[in-house]
Amino acid sequence: LLLNFRDSNASLVWEKIEEPSIDYHEFEELFSKTAVKERKKPISDTITKTKAKQ
């Protein structure tokens, strides 16, 4: 079993591959979520619904 044997003419995969260029602005547009502002209900609506359940 030759674990450390390497043919001097053969190159490894990670020696051949090139890292692709990334457009970070496009990436951000595709995968980011927009902030959603949560609306608070008026207190009067909350009180009315609570009294209706009683």
pLDDT digits (tens, 9 = 90+) for 26-53: 999 998 887 777 777 777 766 666 555 5
Instruction: Give one word for 18, left, alpha or beta, with left for phi > 0 and alpha for psi -120 to 50.
Output: beta
CB atoms within 10 A of CB 24: 7
Q: What are phi and psi of 9, to 5 degrees?
A: -85, -20
> So what's the pLDDT on residue 5?
62
CA angle 35, 28, 18 (to 5 degrees): 160
Q: Is the pLDDT of residue 22 over 80?
A: yes
> So what's the pLDDT on residue 24?
92
CA distance 18 to 10: 17
> So what's the pLDDT on residue 15?
86
